[in-house]
């Protein structure tokens, strides 16, 4: 322990982060060890470069941006049945697994607890997790299979998520047989001076590393290996906060298989040219998603010969990957984006600081930043009212909130 302590001290001196040990003496022996190991695990060079990036303006680079081709699910005519047939066969053969990303903090919604446990106010009072589990089970039944379900949590919400599932008897799934949980990666949070924060527990204040952490976590936690053992070839990855997410879609699978692509994504058409969503495009010839802040008004409004927006296919976090693609993406580091957030911490005098405005940076990778890793992908446009009912904000925001999601859900399932 003494050797470790000396090693840690010298690292902290080098990176000017000595405050991290200010209160080590108040920790019990076990926590002391955890803290030292946490510090040894931190890549301070990475932290320094992430901090430097927070000071830079967003660079508008000279990437060549072009529209991306897509298929409209409801304009496929006779090909619809063709793709559906291929996809149905693959699902019946047990080739599909579903992954739900539930590691986010859900700060905008403001629910105390994992977002998946949230009740959007249906008469049934079912949680998001239950709504997702029901649709997955129903879809599986159609093909005579149980679709294995993988749930990504974060260190922060893992215990509570597991307790919730235990209480609900895993909604009929069998733990470690057809439902699996894994914890995503984390990065330390830093203040505006680049100092790593200490959390209330006296340990390093870490935050989940974004939905882009999914690939690495799936691989590192052994989940892709598990999928291979189950003979799975295709992995649908979606968020926990879309109560209409359609995780099992034979047409999407058929398109991916027939077109021999390793990633097939769903899109919905933008509600209007200036809707603040990321849209699919080709960036320097490779698949990508371009943020609304990155395209000019002219580009946002440009239309093709049929009057369709050239950049109109919104990314809705509904994507199907081959296992090979997940593994390839998991092996390639993604860029981190910084977000300025409110974070409680212990200051160098040992006081708990509870800020009422943002005070710290958190770093997140975005799932779509990995799309450039593949040579080609297929985009399938689906209907907003059938597949997209996001729960992002609290009700007072009026958009993408529990009441709008509930309305869409009730309409789709004809509950009212
Ligand atoms: P969002 O980007 O909307 O983030 O996540 P969020 O954490 O739910 O909400 P805010 O931004 O704090 O208000 C989209 C999906 O990605 C998952 C979320 O759980 C959600 O299903 N996600 C996000 C993770 O699993 N891990 C992360 O680190 C971030």
Residue 408 CA to residue 389 CA, distance in Å, equals 6
Give me the pLDDT at residue 295, please: 87
Q: Is 139 left (phi over 0), alpha (psi -120 to 50) or beta?
A: alpha
Give me the pLDDT at residue 229, please: 98
What atom of ligand 1 comes closest to residue 393's alpha carbon? Answer: 13
Give SS3 for 61. coil
Q: Give the angle 61-64-70 at the CA atoms, nearest 5°.
A: 130
Residue 302 CA to residue 309 CA, distance in Å, equals 6
Q: Which residue, judged by its Cα, is nearest atom 23 of ligand 1? A: 104
Q: Which helix (H) or strand (E) holds 355?
A: none
pLDDT category of residue 411 using cuts at 50, 70 and 90: very high
Q: Which residue, judged by its Cα, is nearest atom 28 of ligand 1? A: 210
Give me the pLDDT at residue 57, please: 64
Reported as a single tens digit per residue, the pLDDT across 130-144 is 999 999 999 999 999
- Would the pLDDT of 227 be above 80? yes
- Would the pLDDT of 59 be above 70? no
Task: Kindly report the average pLDDT of the chain as a whole number.
Answer: 95
Cα–ligand 1 centroid distance for 105 (angstroms): 6
Give me the pLDDT at residue 17, please: 98
140 lines ligand 1 (CB under 6 A): no
What atom of ligand 1 comes closest to residue 240's alpha carbon? Answer: 21
pLDDT category of residue 58 using cuts at 50, 70 and 90: low
Residues 116-120: what's their mean pLDDT?
98
Strand-strand pairing, 279-283 and 286-290: antiparallel
Q: Which residue, judged by its Cα, is nearest atom 3 of ligand 1? A: 392
Q: Which of 194, 196, 177 is nearest to 186 (CA)?
A: 196
In 207-249, which ranges are continuous DSSP H helix?
214-220, 223-229
115 lines ligand 1 (CB under 6 A): yes
Q: Which of 261, 313, 285 is nearest to 372 (CA)?
A: 285
Reported as a single tens digit per residue, the pLDDT across 185-197 is 999 999 999 999 9
- Would the pLDDT of 41 be above 70? yes
pTM of the complete model: 0.95
Reported as a single tens digit per residue, the pLDDT across 157-182 is 999 999 999 999 999 999 999 999 99
Cβ neighbours of 78 (radius 10 Å): 6
- Would the pLDDT of 61 be above 80? no
Range with the lowest mean pLDDT among 1-10, 328-337, 389-398? 1-10
Residues 208-226: what's their mean pLDDT?
97
Q: Which residue, judged by its Cα, is nearest atom 14 of ligand 1? A: 239
126 lines ligand 1 (CB under 6 A): no
More confident residue, 97 or 296: 97
**CA-based R_g, the chain, Å:** 22
Token pair, residue 23, equals 């209160």
Q: Which of 122, 70, 105 is nearest to 389 (CA)?
A: 122
Residues 57-61: what's their mean pLDDT?
62
Give me the pLDDT at residue 55, please: 84
CB 65 within 8 A of CB 299: yes
Q: Which residue, judged by its Cα, is nearest atom 22 of ligand 1? A: 104
Give me the pLDDT at residue 1, please: 66
393 lines ligand 1 (CB under 6 A): no
Token pair, residue 79, equals 């090909």
210 lines ligand 1 (CB under 6 A): yes
Give me the pLDDT at residue 414, please: 96
């Amino acid at each position: 322990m003494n050797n470790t302590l000396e090693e840690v001290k010298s690292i902290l001196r080098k990176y000017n982060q000595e405050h991290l040990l200010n209160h080590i003496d108040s920790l019990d022996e076990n926590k002391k060890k955890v803290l030292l190991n946490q510090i040894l695990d931190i890549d301070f060079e990475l932290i320094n470069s992430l901090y430097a990036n927070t000071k830079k303006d967003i660079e508008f680079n000279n990437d060549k941006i072009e529209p991306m081709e897509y298929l409209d699910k409801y304009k496929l005519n006779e090909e619809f049945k063709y793709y559906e047939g291929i996809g149905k066969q693959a699902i019946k053969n047990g080739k599909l697994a579903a992954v739900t990303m539930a590691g986010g903090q859900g700060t905008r919604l403001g629910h105390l607890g994992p977002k998946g446990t949230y009740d959007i106010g249906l008469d049934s009072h079912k949680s998001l997790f239950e709504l997702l589990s029901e649709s997955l089970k129903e879809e599986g039944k159609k093909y005579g299979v149980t679709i294995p379900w993988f749930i990504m949590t974060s260190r922060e919400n893992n215990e509570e998520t597991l307790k919730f599932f235990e209480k609900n008897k895993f909604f009929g799934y069998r733990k470690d047989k057809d439902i699996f949980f894994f914890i995503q990666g984390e990065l330390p949070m830093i203040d505006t001076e680049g100092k790593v924060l200490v959390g209330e527990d006296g340990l390093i204040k870490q935050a989940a590393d974004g939905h882009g952490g999914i690939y690495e976590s799936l691989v590192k936690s052994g989940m892709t290996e598990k999928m291979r053992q189950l003979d799975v070839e295709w992995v649908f990855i979606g968020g926990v906060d879309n109560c209409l997410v359609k995780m099992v879609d034979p047409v999407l699978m058929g398109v991916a298989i027939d077109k021999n692509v390793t990633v097939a994504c769903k899109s919905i058409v933008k509600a209007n040219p200036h809707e603040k969503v990321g849209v699919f495009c080709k960036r320097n010839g490779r698949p990508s998603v371009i943020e609304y802040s990155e395209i000019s008004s002219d580009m946002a409004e440009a239309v093709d010969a049929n009057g369709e927006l050239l950049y109109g296919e919104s990314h809705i976090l509904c994507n199907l990957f081959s296992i090979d693609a997940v593994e390839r993406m998991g092996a390639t580091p993604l860029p981190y984006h910084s977000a300025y957030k409110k974070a409680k911490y212990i200051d160098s005098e040992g006081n708990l600081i509870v800020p009422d405005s943002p005070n710290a940076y958190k770093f997140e990778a975005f799932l779509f930043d990995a799309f450039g890793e593949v040579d080609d992908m297929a985009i399938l446009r689906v209907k907003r009212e059938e597949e997209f009912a996001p729960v992002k904000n609290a009700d007072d925001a009026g958009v993408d909130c529990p009441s709008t999601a509930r309305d869409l859900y009730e309409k789709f399932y004809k509950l009212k």
